[in-house]
Homo-oligomer: A and B are copies of this chain.
Amino acid sequence: MRLLLTGFLFIASSARAQIDSVFFRRVFNEALENGQAYSRLGELCKTIGSRLSGSPQADKAVAWGKQMLSGYGFDSVYLQPVMVPRWERSKTEALSFTSAVFNTAIKGEKLQDFNCEAFEELPLKPSKNHKIPAVALGGSVGTSGKLQAGIVSVHSDAQLDSLGKAGVLKGKMVLLNRPFPETYLNTFRAYGACVGQRVNGASKATAFGAVAVLVRSMSNRCDLHAHTGVMIYDDKQSKIPAMAVATAVANLLDKLSQQDPNLRISMELGCQSMPDAPSANVVAETRGSNYPKSIITFGGHFDSWDQGEGAHDDGAGCMHAFEALRLLKSIGYQPRHTLRCVWWMNEENGLRGATEYAAVAGKNNEKHLAALESDRGGFTPRGFGVDSVFLPKVLKYKALLDAYSIGEIEKGGGGADIGPIRKVNPNAVLVGFIPDSQRYFDVHHSETDVFESVNKRELHLGAAAVAVMIAILDQELD
């Protein structure tokens, strides 16, 4: 009897599950009726908040994550230690300007997005000192006391080069003011076209004698929220401080800099880099029935910038992954391979968690069949980016995916945190989860990336989408 039963179980568990309309319905019903992602994200955002690498909040979040995940009965939950860089913002963080042609304090209510062009109508009167909504970019050095300079606004790398070569930038603050190309349907493409000025702009400007840079916030919106993000110094150049200014303010400074040759900017920054700090990736697994040593990894990054609560970036991605693992367990899905939810640490300013994850995988001779990343927010799901080798397998499910409005399949997977896996498993299939992109850069890296900006159903539909894609990978890969 025992032999028979074992034999029966073996056959049952080795048979492939049908990923059909019944399976989709069960996953989506569970997500929409009993979804846990939203309430858990609320806990994370409201009891801990932002989670900059190496910060006390990041430590708290890691402890919370391990404890929370341990309550769901997964086969194992553990931390993977990793040292992370630590950069810290200071209370000393101020930007202001004086101008002979502008005296109206910048008031949010006058610059609402719907009439962002209203600068045109602001009164131009004698000068005062105006505080500017601005935040240091991550990684920036501080100033030594108060730094004061005139300002030059540039709109392209070519303009930076030509003004630099003409000596115009010497001793100036440079406003790197290239706006998002609004005609790109996918806002990530617009981000890609502009983010270089944030990441490398300071060192480019230093080469021409600039004393600091202000970077137009990476956002589609015209408003008064400054968006931080990583900047990297070229070691061959001296380091100058860098701040992000809100898009509406970038427009204003651009205009003022043309009208007022005596426009002066004053910056004071106390931010600093500190020694590396211990932290961890957070991992939860369900072991595979057939191939426990073959792994399908999926996750997001657990660190965030220190503005807002890291709700969409990337609390949402972490919750997508956790909830996908829970959904599949909850409906009784028996995975053939080991399913591993990973919350990588330090995506924003170092990628140490992802690098360590891949290094450990290499050391342990782990075989990763596939890796899926969710790092585009918790918005309504649209589809997936998929490695071209795996594309034909996914397209078999196109009609089903379309029925759940997640059938926009693009060629090309990948993502910052799953990229390193390819170094140890060159054939790992990479998949990117793609939610709607229109609102992402409204909140990205800013004080508005809070729990209230996340919609429960959109988040839960995203988690269900990730879950069905994980099941497709589990069934179609060997």
Chain A contacts to B: CB under 8 angstroms = 28-29, 32-33, 38-39, 41-43, 45-46, 112-115, 182-183, 185, 187, 220-221, 380, 382, 402, 404-405, 408, 436, 438-439, 442, 451, 455-458, 461
Contacts of A405 on B, CB cut-off 8 Å?
A: 185, 382, 408
Query: Which B residues are in CB contact (< 8 Å) with A42?
Result: 112-115
Residue of B nearest to A222 (CB): B456
Q: How far is the CA of A38 from the CA of B439 in the complex (A)?
A: 15
**Are A114 and B39 in contact, CB atoms less than 8 angstroms apart?**
yes
Q: How far is the CB of A27 from chain B (nearest CB, A)?
A: 11
Name the distance in Å between A421's Cβ and chain B's nearest Cβ.
29
Query: Known contacts A114-B38, A380-B380: does B451 contact A438 (CB below 8 Å)?
Result: no
In the complex, chain B residues whose CB is within 8 Å of the CB of A46: 112, 114
Given contacts A43-B114, A114-B451, A438-B457, 19 further A-B contacts (CB under 8 A): A28-B183, A28-B185, A32-B183, A33-B183, A38-B113, A39-B114, A42-B115, A182-B457, A185-B404, A187-B457, A220-B457, A221-B456, A382-B405, A402-B408, A405-B408, A438-B458, A439-B455, A439-B457, A439-B458
Please report the C-alpha to C-alpha distance between residue A41 and residue B113 in the assembled complex, in whole angstroms: 12
10 smallest CB-CB distances across A and B, nearest first, come from A42-B114, A32-B182, A438-B457, A29-B183, A438-B458, A32-B183, A380-B436, A380-B438, A439-B455, A33-B182
How many copies of this protein are present in the complex?
2
Cα separation A113 to B35 with both chains bound (whole Å): 13
Which residue of B is nearest A38, CB measured?
Answer: B114
Name which residue of chain B comes closest to A383, CB basis.
B405
**Which residues of chain B have C-beta atoms less than 8 A from A113's C-beta?**
38, 42, 456
Contact with A436, one of B43, B45, B436 (Cβ below 8 angstroms):
B436
Kindly report which residue of chain B lies nearest to residue A458, judged by CB atoms: B438
Closest residue on chain B to residue A44 by CB atoms = B114
A91 CB, nearest partner CB in chain B, Å = 27
A185 to B115, CA, bound (A): 35
Instruction: Report Cα–Cα, A187/B455, bound state, in Å.
Output: 13
Q: What are 7 A-B residue pairs whose CB atoms fall within 8 Å in the complex?
A: A28-B185, A32-B183, A39-B115, A113-B456, A182-B457, A405-B408, A438-B457
